[in-house]
């Protein structure tokens, strides 16, 4: 299975674009700043090219991982990776993969399906990680829900894009 790098590069933009909206002062930005103790002046002191560049890079890491979470056909390749000549379509393993992909290769390749798995990743991975850290940082549940909500929506959009972009 080939990775659709264009889909991943586009999906990697989602954390930046959604962040501009989600953390805008008219949405959750003012509340988030109050809960973190940050001010607009603190934000102006940041090295924004570095922050945006790293955000995009980490978004690319997430998009790549979402590729393996939302595209179930990728798991077939991980099952046969150790088989000799698995990538050769004339080998036994290669012929089996081709037959399987011809029949099932486009199953569950929709935005809705990818978004569903993105939501699950947000709820069962991002939320617990954020909540554990926030508890030790003595942050409020409002802080947890604002940040976890962002990641749930973000991963849903990323998963949907990656899954549907065939």
Express each pLDDT in 110-146 by its tens digit.
999 999 999 999 999 999 999 999 999 999 999 999 9
* Residue 91 backbone zone (phi > 0: left; psi -120 to 50: alpha; other: beta): beta
Contact 140, 106 (CB under 8 A): no
pLDDT-derived band at 1 (thresholds 50, 70, 90) equals: low
Q: What is the pTM of this model?
A: 0.92
Cβ neighbours of residue 23 closer than 8 Å, sequence gap 6 or more: 29, 32, 150
Contact 27, 131 (CB under 8 A): no
Express each pLDDT in 72-92 by its tens digit.
988 888 888 788 887 888 888
* More confident position, 2 or 115: 115
Half-sphere exposure of 31 (CA within 13 A, CB side): 14
Compute the distance between CA of residue 117 and CA of residue 125 in angstroms, rounded to an integer. 11
pLDDT at 18 over 80: yes
Count of CB atoms within 10 A of residue 100's CB? 13
Q: For 85-127, give the secondary structure using H, E and C.
A: CCCCCCCHHHHHHHHHHHHHCCCCCCHHHHHHHHHHHHHHHHH
Compute the distance between CA of residue 22 and CA of residue 37 in angstroms, rounded to an integer. 18
């Amino acid at each position: 299975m080939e990775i659709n790098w264009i889909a991943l590069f586009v999906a990697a933009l989602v954390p930046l674009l959604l962040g501009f909206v989600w953390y805008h002062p008219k949405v959750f930005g003012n509340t988030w700043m109050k809960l973190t103790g940050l001010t607009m002046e603190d934000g102006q002191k940041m090295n924004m090219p570095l922050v945006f560049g790293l955000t995009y890079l980490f978004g690319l890491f997430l998009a790549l991982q979402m590729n393996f979470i939302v595209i179930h056909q990728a798991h077939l390749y991980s099952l046969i990776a150790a088989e000799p000549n698995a990538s050769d379509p004339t080998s036994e393993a290669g012929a089996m993969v081709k037959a399987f992909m011809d029949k099932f290769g486009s199953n569950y390749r929709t935005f809705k399906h990818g978004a569903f798995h993105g939501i699950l990743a947000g709820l069962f991975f991002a939320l617990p990680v954020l909540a554990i850290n926030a508890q030790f940082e003595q942050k409020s549940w409002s802080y947890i829900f604002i940040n976890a909500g962002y990641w749930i929506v973000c991963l849903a959009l990323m998963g949907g894009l990656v899954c549907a972009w065939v």
